[in-house]
Chains A and B, each alone.
Chain A
Amino acid sequence: MTSDQALAHVIDRLERGGVGYLLVGALSSNLYGVPRATDDADVEVSFDGFDVVSFATGLGEEFRLDRQMMIEGFTGTVRYVLHHEPSGFTIELFRLGTDPHHEERFSRRRRLRVAECRSEAWVSTAEDVVIQKLRWARRKDLDDIVNLIAVSGDGLDWKYVDRWTNVHGTSGLLADLRAEAGH
C-alpha cells in the first residue's frame, strides 16, 4: 500500500464505521492552495463511541498505533499517531475537544469526493484552514496560508476569518500574510 492508498483506506474505514471526522492540516490546505508533499495526514475525530485501539487494529497489519498520546499545547487537543509502516506515512488522529474554534470548524465541515475512496470525505473549509494554521504559525503553515490566499483568497469568507483571528490574537499576522499574498 502506498501513502495515498493508506490514507484512502483510513478514510474508508472511518466512513464505513460511521465515525464523525474531519480532514484538516496539509491535506486541506493542499485542496485550496498549492499541493505540497506531506508525510502525515491530520484527522480530527469525534471520540463519541470511537475506540482508537480497535480502529487501528481493524486497519490491518501495515498499520501501527503509537500508544504514546500527545497533547497539543494551543488547544489542549489529544493526539494519537497511526504509522503506516511500509511507506513511513503517518495519520494523526486528533480528539475533537472543547476548543470553540474546533467545534465551529467541525460544524462547518464540507463533503468532497476523494480519488481512490469508495465514498466522499469530510474536509475542513478554506477559512478554517487559514484560522488554524495561523495559530500554529510554523514556517510551513505560513507558506501554506500565503499560497492558499493567493489561489483562493477571493472566495474566502473574510468576516468569519477575522472574527476568529481577533479571538486568537492572530489578526496582525494574517494582515502580513495577506499582503505577502498580494491580497
Chain B
Amino acid sequence: MPPEEKLLAGARLFDRVRLRMMEGIRALHPTWNDHQIVVECRRRLAVVRAREERGIYTPVDPS
C-alpha cells in the first residue's frame, strides 16, 4: 500500500468496522430500526473512547 493510501487507511478501516458492528447489533436485535442501531453503535464507540481518554483529558471552562 503506497504512503498516500496508508494515511487515510485508518478512516476507511473504521467505516468497515462500523458496518460490521451495525450488522452485529442488527443480528442481536432484529426488531430494532436503523436509528436504534446507529444509537447503539455510537454508544459502544463512546464507551470505548471514554475508557481510553480517562485520566488524559479534562474539560476546560471557556470562561
| A residues apposed to B, CB below 8 Å | 2-4, 6-8, 23, 26-27, 30-31, 35-41, 67-74, 78-79, 87-89, 112-116, 121, 123, 136, 138, 140
Contacts and interface: CB of A to CB of B under 8 A. Distances in A.
B4 A8 contact: no
Contacts of B16: 37
A70 B62 CA distance: 10
Interface residues of B, number: 29
A36 B10 contact: yes
B11 A4 contact: yes
B46 to A, nearest CB: 10
B15 A140 contact: no
B60 A87 contact: no
Prevailing SS type, chain B contact patch: helix
A45 to B, nearest CB: 16
A7 B11 contact: yes
B3 interface: yes
Nearest to B5: A115
Nearest to A139: B52
Given A2-B15, A68-B60, 13 more contacts: A27-B8, A37-B16, A40-B49, A41-B10, A68-B59, A71-B57, A87-B18, A88-B18, A112-B4, A112-B7, A113-B3, A115-B4, A123-B7
A30 B6 contact: yes
Contacts, number: 102
Contacts of A68: 59-60
A40 B14 CA distance: 9
A41 B10 CA distance: 9
Nearest to A33: B6
Contacts of B3: 31, 112-113
Contacts of B47: none
B11 A89 contact: yes
A98 B24 CA distance: 45
A132 to B, nearest CB: 12
